């Protein structure tokens, strides 16, 4: 048996041998357009947050001896143009990528797309407001100061719409680093807005207090929504992802069914629905598929629940193209879990791989989902580790962590 490849992350989702450490981002596609969409969307969110902060600093006439006011004004103007550029790139990569078939009109008209219509529509609304500010700023002499000022103040709605669009549409929302970046954007805007309300608070005190109250309520409501929405399993289904994409993300079986499994009795012993913990022990192998020429890395492990119970088998298969560095470029993954009498009771895919920790989302024929937290300790061709199993709801949404987003 050839010594298997173990992986580490590289740019573009490539999986390179780097024993003995596991550390890769597992996705269901390596489309450069998908990566570009996610990256440009997040960059646009950071830039629009910075633009709002600079706009608020301009409104309080912030200046220092070594930082004159015209510097803030110039940065605000140039930052707004950068936001427009990266938002345009975000839209271009989104409509060009054929995965979700989002049409160009959906970038301008809210609710024009069947893919997560509300959250994609918020992105369209934010882009429309951004365009309105840009156009009226270029034609400021012709439209008049009053109209320009009105549009400019309405443009502040662009920022919360962009934040909700990013959190509601993006696949990466549950990732800690994405949450950290978003939290920094929110904190920066909240701090600048608080300063703006505090400066000259004696003027229009009632209005300022009302605005502060609305902002506080919106912040609390947004946090509650985030915890109960995008961070909760099944968000893809609830957010309006079309059924065909949910079915595609759940994946079809790509691993041959073991001999005798087809005749398993319907009364065969099944795994408990979770939660439970177990220990793992097994082996890692690598081969080349004779038909397609793809490299196939496979982890087969016996599962022994803590405290006794039904023993099971865990099978993880990662498929991709071999490259000159000795690794593979990910194109697919398949995870199965079940007792020996029904080893494919649960099927699904890997959704993350970080260090020596994997996670997978699987479901049975009735749609009951499980989240698998897998900690591995590779040693050559052998592997040991732990398995943590928790419930993940039911229905088509159980595959939602591998549904693509960031559109």
CB 361 within 8 A of CB 348: yes
For residue 205, the surrounding DSSP H or E stretch is: helix 205-228
Interior CA angle at 162 toward 158 and 166, to 5°? Answer: 175
At residue 207, the pLDDT reads 80
At residue 267, the pLDDT reads 38
Does the structure show a pLDDT above 50 at 405? no
At residue 246, the pLDDT reads 64
Interior CA angle at 383 toward 369 and 398, to 5°? Answer: 10
DSSP class per residue in 38-71: HHHHHHHHHHHHHHHHHHHHHHTT--BTTB-HHH
Long-range contacts of 55-61 (CB under 8 A, 24+ apart): 55/156, 56/189, 56/192, 56/193, 56/195, 56/196, 57/192, 59/196, 60/195, 60/196, 60/199
Distance CA 291, CA 29 (A): 21
| Higher local confidence (pLDDT), 223 or 241 | 223
At residue 358, the pLDDT reads 82
Does the structure show a pLDDT above 60 at 157? yes
pLDDT one-digit tens code per residue, 99-129:
777 889 999 999 888 888 999 999 999 999 8
pLDDT one-digit tens code per residue, 319-376:
777 766 555 666 778 899 988 778 888 899 888 877 677 889 998 887 888 899 998 8
Domain-by-domain residue ranges, the chain?
A: 7-26+254-402, 32-245
Average pLDDT on 211-217 reads 88
Does the structure show a pLDDT above 90 at 210? no
Interior CA angle at 34 toward 169 and 237, to 5°? Answer: 35
Q: How confident is the model at residue 31 (pLDDT cuts 50, 70, 90)?
A: low
Whether the full predicted model's pTM is greater than 0.75, yes or no, is no
Distance CA 37, CA 165 (A): 13
DSSP class per residue in 323-369: -TTS-EEEEEEEEEEEETTSTTSEEEEEEEEETTEEEEEEE-TT-EE
Average pLDDT on 374-391 reads 87
pLDDT one-digit tens code per residue, 71-101:
777 888 888 889 999 999 999 998 888 777 7
**What whole-number percentage of the chain has pLDDT above 90?**
22
Average pLDDT on 19-36 reads 51
Spatial CA neighbour of 235 closest among 168, 161, 164: 168
φ and ψ at residue 92, rounded to 5 degrees? -60, -45
Average pLDDT on 241-253 reads 58
Among the ranges given (59-63, 157-161, 268-272), the one the predictor scored with the smallest mean pLDDT: 268-272
What average pLDDT is seen over the chain? 77
Map tokens 């022994």 to a residue.
304
Q: How confident is the model at residue 239 (pLDDT cuts 50, 70, 90)?
A: confident
pLDDT one-digit tens code per residue, 271-330:
766 688 889 899 988 887 776 777 788 889 998 887 677 788 999 887 777 766 555 666
Does the structure show a pLDDT above 90 at 161? yes
Map tokens 């000259």 to a residue.
200
At residue 325, the pLDDT reads 59
Q: Give how far Cα 370 sits from Cα of 303, 306, 323, 401, Å.
A: 15, 17, 33, 12
At residue 127, the pLDDT reads 92
At residue 109, the pLDDT reads 92
Does the structure show a pLDDT above 70 at 16? no
């Amino acid at each position: 048996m050839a010594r298997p490849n173990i992986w580490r992350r590289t740019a573009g989702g490539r999986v390179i041998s780097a024993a003995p450490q596991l550390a890769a981002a597992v996705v269901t596609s390596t489309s450069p357009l998908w990566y570009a969409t996610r990256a440009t969307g997040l960059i646009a969110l950071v830039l629009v947050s910075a633009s709002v902060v600079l706009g608020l600093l301009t409104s309080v006439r912030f200046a220092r001896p070594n930082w004159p006011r015209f510097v803030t004004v110039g940065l605000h103007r140039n930052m707004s143009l950068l936001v427009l550029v990266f938002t345009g790139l975000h839209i271009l990569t989104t409509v060009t990528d054929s995965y979700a078939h989002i049409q160009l009109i959906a970038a301008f008209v809210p609710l024009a797309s069947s893919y997560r219509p509300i959250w994609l529509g918020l992105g369209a609304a934010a882009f429309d407001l951004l365009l309105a500010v840009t156009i009226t700023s270029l034609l400021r002499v012709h439209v008049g100061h009053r109209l320009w000022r009105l549009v400019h103040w309405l443009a502040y709605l662009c920022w919360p719409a962009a934040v909700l669009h990013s959190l509601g549409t993006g696949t990466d929302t549950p990732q800690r680093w994405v949450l950290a970046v978003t939290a920094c954007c929110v904190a920066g805007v909240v701090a600048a807005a608080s300063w703006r309300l505090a400066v000259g608070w004696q003027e229009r005190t009632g209005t300022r207090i009302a605005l502060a109250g609305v902002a506080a309520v919106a912040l609390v409501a947004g946090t509650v929504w985030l915890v109960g929405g995008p961070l909760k399993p099944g968000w893809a289904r609830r957010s309006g992802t079309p059924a065909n994409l949910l079915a595609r993300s759940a994946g079809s079986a790509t691993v041959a069914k073991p001999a005798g499994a087809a005749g398993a009795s319907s009364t065969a012993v099944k795994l408990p629905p979770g939660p439970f913990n177990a220990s793992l022990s097994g082996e890692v192998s690598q081969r080349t598929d004779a038909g397609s020429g793809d490299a196939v890395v496979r982890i087969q492990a016996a599962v022994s629940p803590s405290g006794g119970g039904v023993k099971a088998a865990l099978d993880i298969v990662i498929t991709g193209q071999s490259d000159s560095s000795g690794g593979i470029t990910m194109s697919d993954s398949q995870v199965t879990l079940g007792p020996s009498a029904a080893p494919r009771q649960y099927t699904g895919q890997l959704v993350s791989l970080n260090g020596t920790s994997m996670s997978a989302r699987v479901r049975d024929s009735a749609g009951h989902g499980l989240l698998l937290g897998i900690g591995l300790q590779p040693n050559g061709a052998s592997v040991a580790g732990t398995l943590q199993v928790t419930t993940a709801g039911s229905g088509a949404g159980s595959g939602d962590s591998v549904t693509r987003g960031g559109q």
